[in-house]
Amino acid sequence: MPELPEVETVRRGLEPFIVGRKIREIDVVHKGGNRSSTYAPYSAIKGAKVLNVKRRGKFLWFELNRDFALMAHLGMSGQLLIQDKQSQYEKHLRVRIDCGDRRKEIRFVDQRTFGWISIDKLVLEGQELIPQSFTRIAPDLFDDKFNREAVISQIGKKNSAIKRVLLDQGVVSGVGNIYADEALWHAKIHPERLAKKLSEQEISSLLDATKFVMEKALKAGGTSFDDLYINVNGESGYFDVELEAYGQENEPCSRCGREIARIAFANRSSHFCPQCQSKSPLKKAGKKKVRKKSQP
């Protein structure tokens, strides 16, 4: 599934093409490209000017000069491509967006049909109008609204495996299986350790590692597997060559040489180093609790 770096790469590709243009038409080639709960029919968007392309976590928001938003979610395999209008339709084409360009259009292609494009209602968040879809997810690590101290406190209260918490889009958005494994490897934290058992320093280090990994992935254009994720020009990201844990089962850990292990985790897999990411880390010297002697 495309995660924050992949979605942000797509956003950056779409921005110079679509901002400032007016949407002439949205053509739903296949009903799988539309969300059933869309706020208004696509016809309502005809003539709307695109003011900006924004993102929160894995969601894209086309800001319009209207009292509603155009939203997109790539799902498991969605692709937003800038294609020649005369080029052959892709096998899994779902939606076409005509922005008034003579030669080019935006196409939403989705093999597994979990992604969607829809019109969304705008609601207030503080003093700002945002798409209603955004209210269900937390700000991501690159968002100005991200409250680091509050998130550290929230994570520290969770009685759940830290990887499950890291994947919770209501805690911090944009993180999926790939970057969760990578961040936990960099922070030397076992994916099954309980979040409430982590120190504030460990949680802080994990957030730093998550942002670090995603920044590196952004520079590489994201991570591509089997061409399910490509950018707007049809190019694959190449961060997969830098992965330390995800998909590296039986490969030596670049830090200690121990083989990377894989375990089943919430209907998916987790990859980690059994040595660097111990499930029961040794307490640091000088930090052990001293048991008080009982009074006679």
- Range(s) within the chain of domains with CATH label 1.10.8.50: 148-272
* pLDDT score recorded for residue 288: 40
Is 85 assigned a catalytic role? no
148-272 has which CATH code?
A: 1.10.8.50
Is 2 assigned a catalytic role? yes
107 is in an annotated binding site: no
Is 3 assigned a catalytic role? yes
* pLDDT score recorded for residue 285: 39
Identify residue 184 by its one-letter amino acid code: L
* pLDDT score recorded for residue 295: 43
**Over the stretch 79-92, which tens digit does the pLDDT of each residue have?**
999 999 999 999 99
- Range(s) within the chain of domains with CATH label 3.20.190.10: 4-136
Question: CB-side exposure of 20: number of CA atoms within 13 Å?
Answer: 4
In sequence order, the 6+-apart residues with CB closer than 8 A to the CB of 204 are 148, 152
In sequence order, the 6+-apart residues with CB closer than 8 A to the CB of 173 are 4, 56, 57, 58, 137, 138, 139, 140
Is 21 assigned a catalytic role? no
* pLDDT score recorded for residue 293: 43
* pLDDT score recorded for residue 197: 97
Q: Which of 2, 5, 131, 139 is catalytic?
A: 2
pLDDT level of residue 224 (50, 70, 90 thresholds): confident
Do 69 and 54 meet the contact criterion of CB atoms below 8 Å apart? no
Q: Which of 11, 55, 56, 58 is catalytic?
A: 58
pLDDT level of residue 292 (50, 70, 90 thresholds): very low
Across all residues in the chain, what is the average pLDDT?
90
pTM reported for the whole predicted model: 0.89
Question: CB-side exposure of 152: number of CA atoms within 13 Å?
Answer: 13
Return phi, psi of residue 250, to 5°: 75, 0
Return phi, psi of residue 223, to 5°: -120, 130
4-136: CATH superfamily: MutM-like, N-terminal (3.20.190.10)
186 is in an annotated binding site: no
190 is in an annotated binding site: no
